[in-house]
Structure 1
């Protein structure tokens, strides 16, 4: 084949491939429909990855039952979907927003929860709707939650944020406290838990 014919042949091949490629496989412009589909897919992936972890956060931070934690998780994700297009693309920032929103939802679902002990809380009617993963998480952390019950609520909340990988500054922003107070609460929580662990080990 002559060299002069090669570019023409390659151009013809490209044209033929384009004609045989289904429109669905071509790179489509970012239309409103495509943008909405991408948002739904992004939200669905994030929900699958994070919903159980969010419920676990509520269980550890507040001693929530699996059922109440799951209710608050669903409420938070519903709110997230409404704002999904405007939320930060940062995964950590999205998780922080959801934790704050779910925490508020948890208390709002039962306004007098603060006046009840865990033993006095009513049974949730929709136990069967809670994913097995969340139920297993609640069962598996029962001992840890007994230890956390010894902490004041603010110390417990800040420690749970800390264990989730957030900095003192980030925790302060999300919980409305100053950074020095967050640092002190985490330090006191860890000291209390350390003393309790030592006491348990000594008893054994």
Structure 2
């Protein structure tokens, strides 16, 4: 089976909307686009490169796909982001969308049918592991279905108050093990959590 990892830049209050730029996603009159930019450093870059160092394919919601498709194919060859761009442009991209006829980014494929079933079938196929970035609406549905094997969260020391969030009340209760953690010089906590069965409870009495 293929492993499914969700990677997200997340605020202290759980917002993951528009981390990369002011015009990335203004839905809901979101006013803080680009909130991760002041914290960018070599440690975060090294983490992203490490995450993508093994074979992978992308699993994306339609909104994130459109943002990526407008950016990564246009990254200059001499840019500091060119290595990531080369990988994103080459790998297979599986997209949760109702408009599968206009996926023009190279090697893009629309998921067919109900999301959870389509992703479950995808994880049972042979191939590289799946990595999701952003894609809050899709990620929440996958959390509800219990399909996410790993969460790779970069938690930024900001509270945004409003915006699209990763977690909601529909997430399936699940336990996770902290497999790795680090703190960047700017105070961003990088943590990788691996699914580890059901939630356990107890009593201090």
TM-score grouping bracket, smaller chain normalisation = under 0.3
Greater relative contact order (Cα 8 A, min sep 6): structure 1 or 2? Answer: 2
Q: Which protein is richer in strand relative to its size? A: 2
In the superposition, the TM-score normalised over structure 2's length comes to: 0.24
Q: Which protein is richer in helix relative to its size? A: 1
In the superposition, the TM-score normalised over structure 1's length comes to: 0.24
Q: Which has the larger radius of gyration?
A: 1
